[in-house]
Structure 1
Amino acid sequence: MKLYYAPGSCSLAAHIILNELKAPFDAEKVDLKTHQTESGQDFYQINPKGFVPTLEAEGGVILTENVAILPYLAEQDPNQKMIATSGLARAKTLEWLGFLNSQLHKAYLPLFYGNLDEQGQKDAYAKVDSYLAYIDQYIANTPHEFLTGDHFGPADAYLFVIGSWSSYVDHDLTPYSHLVAFREKIAQREAVQLTLKQEGLI
């Protein structure tokens, strides 16, 4: 398998899961401004959508979108129990991935690219805060160690990555103590530390 990624972007979640698997894979950095890969390829020739993560899977099949890539990777090693094979437990993972992708991820984007006026910025922070408050309370009340059970999985990796974006948009996470503690726990994982180093983030 081969992952095309941009450092610190949402593709970081897939990179973390690949390192959790401890299986051989290749990774190539993409410049999302020029749409050139590190080896000089035109990234649009690999993924016409032009964004990451992009995974070259078995047989050269190109897979895009975190909601597809993360479950696919997580099920590569069933012994790690990163995602349930069926039923409500699997559905809960997909529910979290959908929420993180379509709501929380989307809410951060105007703070990066919106060129917002003061009121627009205030509204954007408020939307992010509304989702983080929900997540913080969920973490406080769940009986499980991770978002969807007692094993680290794709939703945990994705939440860790999106939460890290607050440091880039001058957003304070300290009101969300349960989320902060959760992120600190994830950050201590060997695969997470390895991935952050590989992407030049630490």
Structure 2
Amino acid sequence: MPDPQDVPDGPITFRPLTPTDLPMLRDWLAEPHVARWWNHETTLDAVERDFGPAMRGEDPSEDLVVSAGGVPVGLLQRCRWHDFPEYVVEIAPILTVPDGAVTIDYLIGPPGLTGRGLGTRILAAAAAGVWERYPDAPAIIVPVSAGNRASWRALEKAGFRRVASGDLPPDNPIDPPLSHVHRLDRPTTEEPACRP
């Protein structure tokens, strides 16, 4: 078993969350560095209630276990903005979300793996996964609580740019509503120059 303080080498991969992952996810959600921003109930019943619908395909979002070098290290959620119209309405006063745009949310579970560059690696791999999974998505748009500096700095290091700031309902009621919104546009491939 690897040392929990070592950041695993190897590729970042994603797989669907399964019922057998729920105890691990519950433990991650209970970690203080995760609980601070996710503000989630951590009983197994609550975790199953909230993550079960996506696992069963009853919800249009995807919950994915993130692994680094084959070691589970976190969770990635992704979905199209317009599959959840209420969120499009919430963000509309500060940003217009284009059709087909995707959003992501993420956490690193083991506390010893935070602040070591893993988040940036995960976000870069997550973006590549979005472009493959959603071939018509023009952009990934991610709102983050302004107080969660580690999260929005990881986005910026992964190539996202801040495109707006404004008030959004916080995930944790102890936070002020100010959020920063980051965007990454789908990469374009340039046509090779014509040669005579």
Same fold by TM (over 0.5)? Answer: no
TM-score normalised by the chain length of structure 1 = 0.31
Q: Higher helix fraction: Structure 1 or Structure 2?
A: 1
Q: Higher strand fraction: Structure 1 or Structure 2?
A: 2
TM-score normalised by the chain length of structure 2 = 0.32
